[in-house]
Amino acid sequence: MNFITTFKDVLIEALTEHKKMIIILYAVFIILFIGSWIFVSDSASSTLQNIQNMSAATPSPVVSDLSPLDLFIHNGVGGLIYYLGSIFFAIPAIVQVIYNGLNLGAVGPVLEAVHAGGGLQYIIYLIPHGIFEITGTILQSAAGILLFKFIWAFLKNIAIKDNGKRLSVRQSFEKNKKVLIQSVAIIIFATILMAIAAPIEAYFSVPFSDWIFGL
């Protein structure tokens, strides 16, 4: 059995076993995205009224000058840092979902205040690369939570008696390694999704949103 087949099997198993957690993370992201949009739109409509006059000089509310490599480093490598940091009680993994949901949701109403129809164009801009990037972000967080779950179970089985006895380091690792393997498989898949999203965001999303919005 080659590596690709093995990886695919492990990934499918991991996504299946932990689909509830992934769905919950997605739900949290969506709720925060919508909540942030509504909250910011209330203030943006009043505080950014004067910027509306600039709309005629602003051909597109969505501009991306970053290269695919820059975007991948920001999203992919940044996600790996969150992932590794999740050894600390999975806090970075949870923060990642919260931050992205709030941050991305806040951009739309601001663009709407700057440019008439900017909010709708922002959504159109997000769709092509967001399918991969947002999914990758959610999976990075899920992988981080699983990494912490492995470390917690691994240390717990060594420190606390299991069925009357403490496990050795090797025994504890063997008992819990499945979760670690699943975590690694998911973070690899998430990184691949980020690599796919980067060139789409750099070269396609802005022209696509301009074209759709101009129909």
State how far Cα 87 lies from the chain centre.
Answer: 18
Has residue 37 been placed in a domain?
Answer: yes
Total domains, the chain:
1
Residues 142-180: pLDDT tens digits?
A: 999 999 999 999 999 998 866 767 888 999 999 999 999
Q: Is the confidence at residue 44, as pLDDT, over 90? A: no
Distance CA 33, CA 102 (A): 5
The verdict on pTM exceeding 0.95 is no
Angle in degrees, CA 75, 78, 80, rounded to 5? 110
**Band (4; pLDDT cuts 50, 70, 90):** confident
Has residue 56 been placed in a domain?
Answer: no
Residues 184-214: pLDDT tens digits?
A: 999 999 999 999 999 999 999 999 998 887 7
Q: Mean pLDDT over all residues of the chain?
A: 88
Has residue 53 been placed in a domain?
Answer: no
Average pLDDT over residues 48-70: 58
Has residue 215 been placed in a domain?
Answer: no
Has residue 173 been placed in a domain?
Answer: yes
The boundaries of the domain holding residue 93 are 3-46+66-208
CA neighbor of 175 nearest in space, from 154, 151, 148 = 154
Distance CA 32, CA 67 (A): 28
Which residues neighbour 23 within 8 Å (Cβ) at sequence distance 6 or greater?
none
